[in-house]
Amino acid sequence: MSIDATPSCILVTGGTGFIGSHTVVVLLEQGHEVVIVDDLSNSSEKVLDRIDQIVGEEAAERLTFVRADVADREALDAIFDEFDIDAVIHFAGYKAVGESVQKPIEYYSNNIGNTLVLVDAMRDHGCKSIIFSSSATVYGDPDELPLTESSPKKPATNPYGWTKWMIEEILGSLVVADPEWNVVLLRYFNPIGAHPSGLMGEDPKGIPNNLLPYVAQVAVGRRDAVHVFGNDYDTPDGTGVRDYIHVMDLAEGHAAALSWMMGRNGCEVFNLGTGNGTSVLQIIEAFSTACGHDLPYVIEPRRAGDVTANWADCTKAREQLGWKAKFNIADMCRDSWNWQSHNPNGYEA
Ligand code: WQD
């Protein structure tokens, strides 16, 4: 274990989810105390045992789990009363793009509503430091690549994207109203991979919407073939290009942002990506190498709302946070396969 930050007490909303759980591991390994608040609506309680196994007994004692909805103000008050929370990392929210188009009321009310309840509780308890899980989706269809933090925000193409877009604005407004607030907006590119132990990874319920969990389920035999959404884009092989980032790099990015923000005020945005673009076909090829057999795929029409390509300029995170992604696509596919092959049904037995 390495302690490279002043130990603090961090409230992590959505801490049993994919990115949240990996971030909790890193925070515990760095010596922090962590309180997870999660209603388990899209995650498994088994994640908590896996976190304990990875970090070991001593660090696990610094973890508290509270099963509650982030919109439950009484539950939040009880947490802030009991713990001296230094900062909040806010992951909790609905995240399925397609579902958000079908259920806009649920998405707006859950994602935006829970954030408002959270920051109201934070203000009342004098905790004004928050890191928010934002997304490269706020850049929309980019005019220029790579995307820097000063690239314009573009209209979102679905309610999920709008919730990220608006929560960024809401948190920015807090700083304008009260300069004591300390807000960090982390814009993730495409998080994939899993903990290298194979004990934690992405476990979507139902048919995966995102490429990597789908590819992993094809590799393990749960699905027949990968559906490639369009091969007529203006990219080298015609398929969509994204900046995939290992979830452990992302987790380290949160820890770096946390150490950086302590003692500061204001609102800062950071891209968290690798700076490299990879196509859908390149992903299928890299995953085939990782799992040791070719993966069948079929070309389908483009998916509505998809952009051709995006990747990040991560200079700002490197210069200011001292953070840089370490893992490449082969590492991401290896760890994703390690997780999927050892846990073919995710956290379910
Ligand atoms: C990647 C590429 C698809 C599935 C979204 C959100 C973002 C973030 C991550 C989530 C694209 C292609 C995909 C498939 C395919 N939020 N694809 N077959 O759309 O870049 O980002 O998820 O929680 O905010 O917008 O990610 O993994 O869905 O797609 O060909 O079965 O793979 O067209 O080019 P996306 P993705």
Model confidence pLDDT, tens digit, residues 325-338: 999 999 999 999 99
At residue 323, what is the residue type?
W
Q: How many CB atoms lie within 10 A of CB 2?
A: 7
Rounded distance from Cα 331 to ligand 1 centre (Å): 19
pLDDT tens per residue across span 30-66: 999 999 999 999 999 999 999 999 999 999 999 999 9
When computed from its CA atoms, the radius of gyration of the chain, rounded to whole angstroms, is 19
227 pocket-lining for ligand 1 (C-beta < 6 Å): yes
Give which of 240, 230, 223, 222 is closest to 282, Cα–Cα: 240
Nearest protein Cα to ligand 1, atom 23: 95
Contact 165, 156 (CB under 8 A): yes
Kindly report the CA angle at 54 between 50 and 55, in degrees rounded to 5?
Answer: 120
pLDDT tens per residue across span 95-136: 999 999 999 999 999 999 999 999 999 999 999 999 999 999
Distance from chain centroid for Cα 212: 14
Cα 250 from Cα 23, distance rounded (Å): 8
Of the pLDDT bands very low, low, confident and very high (cuts 50, 70, 90), residue 349 is confident
245 pocket-lining for ligand 1 (C-beta < 6 Å): no
Pairing label, strands 241-242, 297-300: unpaired
Q: Can you tell me the mean pLDDT for 221-242?
A: 98
Q: Which residues, in sequence order, are bridge partners of residue 231?
A: none
223 pocket-lining for ligand 1 (C-beta < 6 Å): no
Rounded distance from Cα 208 to ligand 1 centre (Å): 10
DSSP characters for 24-42?
HHHHHHTT-EEEEEE--TT
Where do the structural domains in the chain lie, given as residue ranges? 9-342
Which atom of ligand 1 lies closest to the CA of 161? Answer: 24
Distance from chain centroid for Cα 296: 28
Which atom of ligand 1 lies closest to the CA of 283? Answer: 32
Q: How many CB atoms lie within 10 A of CB 326?
A: 11
Q: How many CB atoms lie within 10 A of CB 131?
A: 25
Which atom of ligand 1 lies closest to the CA of 164? Answer: 24
Q: Can you tell me the mean pLDDT for 247-264?
A: 97
At residue 341, what is the residue type?
S
Contact 251, 10 (CB under 8 A): no
Contacts of 169 (CB under 8 A, 6+ apart): none
CA distance from start to end of the chain: 30
Q: Which helix (H) or strand (E) holds 298?
A: strand 297-300
Here the tokens at position 205 are 């319920």
Nearest protein Cα to ligand 1, atom 27: 210
48 pocket-lining for ligand 1 (C-beta < 6 Å): no
> What is the DSSP secondary structure assignment for residue 308, as one 8-state letter?
S
Place of tokens 């398929």: 239
Give which of 92, 131, 112, 107 is closest to 13, Cα–Cα: 92
231 pocket-lining for ligand 1 (C-beta < 6 Å): no
pLDDT tens per residue across span 74-93: 999 999 999 999 999 999 99
Rounded distance from Cα 97 to ligand 1 centre (Å): 9
Q: Can you tell me the mean pLDDT for 248-270?
A: 97
- pLDDT at position 6 is 78
Strand arrangement, sheet containing 129-135: 63-67, 33-38, 9-13, 87-90, 129-135, 182-188, 266-272
**Mutation to probe ligand 1, out of 135, 145, 210, 250 (largest number of atoms < 8 A from CB):** 210
Nearest protein Cα to ligand 1, atom 21: 190
Rounded distance from Cα 209 to ligand 1 centre (Å): 7
Specify whether 108 is catalytic: no
- pLDDT at position 2 is 43
Contacts of 136 (CB under 8 A, 6+ apart): 147, 187, 188, 189, 190, 243, 271, 273, 310, 312
Nearest protein Cα to ligand 1, atom 28: 210
97 pocket-lining for ligand 1 (C-beta < 6 Å): yes
Per-position b or e across 260-276, b if 16+ CB within 10 A of its CB: bbeeeeebbbbbbbbbb
Nearest protein Cα to ligand 1, atom 14: 211
Q: Can you tell me the mean pLDDT for 285-291?
A: 98
Q: Name the CATH superfamily, with its identifier, for domain 9-342.
A: NAD(P)-binding Rossmann-like Domain (3.40.50.720)
% the chain with pLDDT above 70: 99
**Is the pLDDT at 183 greater than 70, yes or no?**
yes
Nearest protein Cα to ligand 1, atom 33: 229
Cα 118 from Cα 102, distance rounded (Å): 26
User: Catalytic pick from 94, 107, 139, 160?
Assistant: 160
Q: For the purposes of burial, counting CB atoms within 10 Å of the CB of 285, is it exposed (0-12), middle (13-18) or buried (19 or more)?
A: middle
**Is the pLDDT at 3 greater than 80, yes or no?**
no
149 pocket-lining for ligand 1 (C-beta < 6 Å): no
How far are the Cα atoms of 115, 258, 283 from residue 27, in angstroms, in the given order?
Answer: 22, 10, 30
> How does the average pLDDT of the chain come out, rounded?
97
- pLDDT at position 5 is 61
240 pocket-lining for ligand 1 (C-beta < 6 Å): yes
